[in-house]
Amino acid sequence: MDDPKSRALLFPYPLRDRGNRINIIGRIDVNEVTNCRRRRIDFDVIRLFACLTILLIHFNASVCGYDIAGNFIYPNQLVPIYYFRCVYLGEIGNNLFFMLSGASLCLSHAEVEMNGKNLWKFYKKRIKTLLPAFWIAWLAATAAQLLIGKTVSGAPARNLIFSLFGVDGYFLARGWITSWFYQVGEWYLGCALLCYLVWPFIQWIWRKIPTAIFLSGMVIVYMLTVYVGNGNSVCVPIRICQMIAGACFVKYVKSSRNWKLLSGSAVIAVACIAGQKYIHAITVSFAVCWMIFIVLVLVVECLPNIFENYAGCIVKMSAYTYPIFLVHHKIISLMASQFDLTTFTYRYTVVLFGAYIVVSMFCAYILKRLTDRIMSAFAR
């Protein structure tokens, strides 16, 4: 018979504790166990699903092309880009990622005290998680562009500061800069960094006032941003509200088998879809993604044996979603430029998508390994 102590190292977390939280089961390195109090495999499943939607939408954009009105030029898109007429596929992934950010922060940083030491610890961890891989990917993309004889940018050198801090794509999307050294990261990275910048202050306010008042205030902020300020998907207040939604899930939802929660969320999502003529598309997408979030958690919770068997694979794949995000857009742009897309059939499109996934995963693997080695060298 197996030694219980050795099994505790191989399977350090029960699948479900008394709080009904879903946790990893699988072969996990002992060092990883000591560094991670608890990891929810349902969140890893959501992360992989969100990553897939981003890969799909950028593949469609590169292979089908856009005209000046934003419509696809070529017919063989892999999957539809809109669902329920106004829910954009890319927004599904973005919304889920921001909800996951709030949920994960709530799990790993229950409270960030508003003092210099704890704030710096919080920011340092976010910087180490996001920026080193970004810098390496940015340098690689810039070097590759120079090697093939293309100019990087006509921007003044001072604009490199935006790339240094990972906000160049975000500032470009907001129209705050007109010349840049942008390579990778999209608008998402800069928006996420700004959200992390203000998160400890949001959390501090949340602790100081009753939750009902805090959430009511955030609803007002959301409504003003979307309906009065005509905010779009790159607005930080909107993304903060999605992070708060994810944090609320961790704080207040003990089990996804809460049928009141499920039915209430479904009613809100259906009502938003039905009333989309009068409701902003951002709100419809938010409601639909909240429902998707709950359903995916429910699937993992209701099928524990299946996810137990594949937990190790899911966790490892989830660890590569950020490197994949950094490299995938450059890869599909390069791959698509090698073909005459006007001659593509749907079968060719599927084959190209498969190759795109394989190459993106390989490059993400290289990026993560290189980043880990460099960070380990600096840590010594």
CB contact at 8 A, 40 and 319 = no
Cα three-residue angle 200-203-205, rounded to 5 degrees: 115
The Cα 375–Cα 192 span in angstroms is 21
What's the chain's length in residues?
A: 380
Q: Which pLDDT value is given to residue 352? A: 94
Residue 356 pLDDT? 96
Amino acid occupying residue 307: F
Angle at the Cα of 209 from the Cα atoms of 203 and 215, rounded to 5 degrees: 70
Look at strands 87-88 and 82-83 and give their pairing. antiparallel
State the CB neighbour count (10 A cutoff) for residue 328.
25
What pLDDT does residue 78 have?
A: 87
What's the CA dihedral at 315, 319, 324, 327 to 10 degrees? -160
Residues whose CB falls within 8 Å of the CB of residue 159, separated by 6 or more in sequence, listed in order? 153, 168, 177, 179, 180, 181
| DSSP state at residue 342 | G
Helix, strand or coil for residue 111? coil
Give pLDDT tens digits along the chain (380 positions).
Answer: 333 332 322 223 333 333 333 343 333 343 443 333 357 899 999 999 999 999 999 999 888 876 655 667 777 788 888 899 899 999 999 999 999 999 999 887 656 666 677 888 899 999 999 999 999 999 999 998 888 877 777 778 888 999 999 999 999 999 998 888 999 999 999 999 999 999 999 999 999 999 999 999 999 999 999 999 888 889 999 999 999 999 999 988 877 777 888 889 999 999 999 999 999 999 999 999 999 999 999 999 999 888 988 999 999 999 999 999 999 999 999 999 888 888 888 899 999 999 999 999 999 999 999 999 999 998 87
- Tell me the pLDDT tens digit for each residue of 83-121: 998 999 999 999 999 999 999 998 876 566 666 778 888
Closest CA to 66 of 335, 324, 344, 341: 341
Q: Residue 68: phi, psi to the nearest 5?
A: -65, -25
Element of type H or E holding 82: strand 82-83
Predicted confidence at residue 305, as pLDDT, reads 87
The Cα 163–Cα 275 span in angstroms is 41
pLDDT digits (tens, 9 = 90+) for 127-160: 999 999 999 999 999 998 888 877 777 778 888 9
